[in-house]
Structure 1
């Protein structure tokens, strides 16, 4: 009977398998290293792209901030112009009050009455004058009550003098005067 020694053949098979395993391990390690390097490169590119996007967005935001600042300046100038226009409109509206007041006083002035002083302070008019009698003062007050400019007419005092009656009337001017 013949005896075959299979030990060298098994040894060669084992070495061959071990070399294949080592080559596969080395190939897998190289493949894994390539995959890691590829993923790293992609991550770096992504980070660089995000950095560029961030820079472009910051520049866009800076541009919008500059435009917003210009818009705020224009809005402030517009608001100031509107306030100025409102003041001018109120002055124009009050422009006719003083001539209308003097016109109403002139129209209501009866014979025998003389005005000595007109005082306009804070929208309140004070009229001082002399009249021939109390009836003339009463007629003057009735005529002034029909005025559209004066409101709340009241007689403050009447003083009897040998030359006539001295009176003081007070009224509120309907338009705002300061």
Structure 2
């Protein structure tokens, strides 16, 4: 005798399949959410790493900008140091010449004369002082012309000392220099010294020396 199932098996099968479908959907949803969360976390880490790298680059560029700004003045400082070294070397080179020029003035100055001012402007010198007479100044001119360091000596002026109406001596011991007249002499630098001084810019140097008096 055949068995006949009169139970509602179709409904149970339908419910079972619906449950399985719902379970598959929930599983797929969970899997999708997990995959999406994993992908988001991965790319978020990548983004953070990239942002950190960008921040490092920005900070490095800022440090380099600061260093470059500090380097801007190095070239000017270097040029200033080089110019200073050249000036010092030039002064070292000029020192023997200047010593010779001063020594030569002392050597050619007559005994009854003394120099109060010695001014240099370029290759021309101006000598001021006091002398016993114009003949003493003329002797100075001859000595300058005979010197290997000077040429074109010329007396610009000679002003005799004024006689004092009051004959009372100004000191217990009379000073012979009080009767000296004032003079001004110009002289040029000789050609043997010009090549050494050619690189130096024209300048005025003033020195005061006291010569021997008789």
Please give the TM-score of this superposition, normalised by the length of structure 1: 0.50
User: Is the 8 Å Cα contact of residues 128 and 184 (structure 2) preserved in structure 1?
Assistant: yes
Among 175, 181, 184, the alignment partner of 1:168 is 184
> 1:145 Cα shift?
9.6
Counterpart of 2:95 in structure 1 is 95
In the alignment, the residues of structure 2 paired with residue 85 and residue 121 of structure 1 have an alpha-carbon distance, to the nearest angstrom, of: 26
| Residues 1:29 and 1:154: Cα distance change in structure 2 (over 3 Å) | farther
In the alignment, the residues of structure 2 paired with residue 23 and residue 117 of structure 1 have an alpha-carbon distance, to the nearest angstrom, of: 122
Q: What is the number of residues matched between the two proteins?
A: 154
| Residues 1:177 and 1:94: Cα distance change in structure 2 (over 3 Å) | farther
User: Is the 8 Å Cα contact of residues 137 and 155 (structure 2) preserved in structure 1?
Assistant: no
Counterpart of 2:158 in structure 1 is 158
Among 132, 140, 150, the alignment partner of 2:135 is 132
- Secondary structure at 1:169's aligned position in 2? strand
> 1:88 Cα shift?
3.7
Counterpart of 1:117 in structure 2 is 115
Q: Deviations over 1:35-86 (max 9, x none)?
A: 122123313533564577578x48x95xx87xx69x97xx79x959767645
In the alignment, the residues of structure 2 paired with residue 38 and residue 102 of structure 1 have an alpha-carbon distance, to the nearest angstrom, of: 94
Q: Deviations over 1:73-125 (max 9, x none)?
A: xx79x959767645542431231232221344367x38x78541142468664
Aligned residue runs from structure 1 range 14-163, under 5 A: 14-15=14-15, 18-46=18-46, 49-50=49-50, 57=56, 61=60, 85-86=85-86, 88-105=88-105, 109=108, 114-120=112-118, 125-130=126-131, 131-132=134-135, 136=139, 139=142, 143=145, 147=149, 155-159=155-159
> 1:9 Cα shift?
7.3
Please give the TM-score of this superposition, normalised by the length of structure 2: 0.44
User: Is the 8 Å Cα contact of residues 137 and 183 (structure 2) preserved in structure 1?
Assistant: no
- Secondary structure at 2:31's aligned position in 1? helix
More RCO (CA 8 Å, sep 6+): 2
Structure 2 gap segments, 5+ residues each: 1-7, 162-178, 190-196, 206-214
Question: What is the root-mean-square deviation in Å for CA atoms of aligned residues?
Answer: 5.1
Structure 1 gap segments, 5+ residues each: 1-7
